[in-house]
Structure 1
């Protein structure tokens, strides 16, 4: 089977940098799929000005793939239908989360194509006993089906650490269009950027931050390396983030501010870096690093529940709940940073 390639319009959007929220899963109090609210979430992301959505990813809950739950197919289909029905007058990237051993990952890539997805966000999680060579072959097999966004996932939520050499070889694989770095670690982030800069595909691969703890600084930073006697520079152009699943309209505005700052020779960078600390403070409340990210998904759900986008913060796993003190932290950041919330926008959207 010949691989799908990325539409040039979508590649242009990806390269210019955009907001791609990681799509949550809407459930009712019986922990059953709430299709109406799921569709409403997709409409919210489009209305917010996001440039795409990532569906079937960590924020959508990996349990959707359990045979007893069997929602992976459904969430891909529902989001795709909603995007198509919107008939947008601008490009919008459909990203499908892909994970598991090679056979599963390839099957998920093929299903994503069936539902009209443009790219696959390929998780490296759950493959702890695989060699880097084996994982690279898995990447090649998936990239032979669908354009791939690589995914460096932090170890605390199921990822693993990879070597610089792994990323350098990874970057050479055809049909890798972008890499999402969610290492939550500056050293490991640096490994990926340096590897891409040292590869022959440096100008073909777009970097997206998944470092929810360092969003603004990632987007403002220009990396510079000497490669074969020449200076090579690279930047994170956008974000594919769980944090951007909430307050998305303000996330879109934030990325616009970052781009304007760069165009203006970094005018206003100090204020943006200060705003970035506020964004990280808000992320700490939602993502719950104080308890090893245990309350991450319920934290996202709680914000969406307060806004009326979700009925509750239920997860497929009943043990996934807010951690002790997390509700108070969410209250605090919503009160301290009203300029970073989009409550009024959501209110108007739901009333329309």
Structure 2
């Protein structure tokens, strides 16, 4: 199976910068797939102006792959159907989460391609004994099948530290179209951007933030390095984020505003304050206070309050809101009312639930 390249319109949009929500999993109280609300979520993201959706990723719950649930293909299929049904007149990227050893990753990539997905976000979690070269070989194999979005996952939720040289080699792989940078660490973020700048494919790779603790600053920063005696600059142009699967309309507005000012040499210091506002809302949703234990129920709780989900249930019954997390979400609504999109959801929810 030969990889189908992105269209020129998709490439242009990807490099201009997109809001790509990492889609959660809507369940009924008996922890079965809630197809009605699952479809409504995709409709919400499309209507909010997102430029893509990532399905089968961390926020969709890794348990969807377990035989007793067997939800990987059904969930990807529902999202693909809704994107196709929308018949959009703008570029939109369907991105499938891909994980596991090479055999599993290739099987998931083949499923994604069959369902019409454009790229795969390839997780390197759960393979801690692997060498960097083994990881690179796995990425090369997947990139033969589907366009790849590389993924630097923070160690506290199953990722690991990779060297500058690893990212430089990864950037040289034909078929890698973007990298999601999510180590929640400035040093490691710089490693990835510098590695791409050193690559011969630097113009072919779009950089996306997954750093929930620094979203706005990531989007505003120009990285500048000396490469073979020449100055090379690169920006993180958009975000592929679980954080952006809630209050998505406001995320789209934020990115559009960033695009208007990110080349402004006299950037207002107010942006630093806005970065902190977004980071604090993320802390309420993603629960770093309890080592991210409530990150998935946290986003479910916001969507439940809006009517986009029936409850906060996860496939793993032990994944629940942490003590005090609901109260923190209350505080975010009180302290930062300008960041929620409840009015937008309320005006359209009945249509999305049809």
Query: Normalised by the shorter chain, which TM-score bucket?
Result: over 0.9
Q: What is residue 114 of structure 1 aligned with on the other side? A: 114
C-alpha distance in structure 1 between counterparts of 2:277 and 2:321, whole Å? 21
Shift of 1:205: 0.6
C-alpha distance in structure 2 between counterparts of 1:334 and 1:315, whole Å? 24
Aligned with 1:203: secondary structure?
A: helix
Q: What is residue 279 of structure 2 aligned with on the other side? A: 280
Shift of 1:88: 1.1
C-alpha distance in structure 2 between counterparts of 1:228 and 1:267, whole Å? 30
**Which segments of structure 1 move beyond 6 Å, counting only runs of 4 or more?**
none
Q: What is residue 72 of structure 1 aligned with on the other side? A: 72
- Deviations along 1:262-318, one digit per CA (max 9) or x if unpaired, are 24x145532222111100000000000010000000000000000000000100000
List runs of 5+ in structure 1 lacking aligned partners.
Answer: none
Q: What is residue 63 of structure 1 aligned with on the other side? A: 63
Matches within 5 A, 1:188-199: 188-199=188-199
- Deviations along 1:125-159, one digit per CA (max 9) or x if unpaired, are 00000000000000000000000000000011111
C-alpha distance in structure 2 between counterparts of 1:4 and 1:128, whole Å? 30
Shift of 1:2: 2.1
Contact 1:150 1:178 survives alignment (8 Å): yes
- Deviations along 1:66-86, one digit per CA (max 9) or x if unpaired, are 011100010010100011111
Aligned with 1:350: secondary structure?
A: helix
Contact 1:22 1:57 survives alignment (8 Å): yes
C-alpha distance in structure 1 between counterparts of 2:21 and 2:2, whole Å? 29
TM-score, with structure 2 as normaliser? 0.98
Q: What is residue 51 of structure 1 aligned with on the other side? A: 51
Q: What is residue 40 of structure 1 aligned with on the other side? A: 40
1:302 is aligned to 2:301: yes
Q: What is residue 328 of structure 2 aligned with on the other side? A: 329
Contact 1:258 1:272 survives alignment (8 Å): no
1:153 is aligned to 2:153: yes
Matches within 5 A, 1:1-352: 1-263=1-263, 265-352=264-351
C-alpha distance in structure 1 between counterparts of 2:269 and 2:54, whole Å? 31
C-alpha distance in structure 1 between counterparts of 2:293 and 2:315, whole Å? 14
**Aligned residues: CA RMSD:** 0.8
C-alpha distance in structure 2 between counterparts of 1:64 and 1:255, whole Å? 31
C-alpha distance in structure 2 between counterparts of 1:204 and 1:20, whole Å? 19
List runs of 5+ in structure 2 lacking aligned partners.
Answer: none
Aligned with 1:234: secondary structure?
A: strand
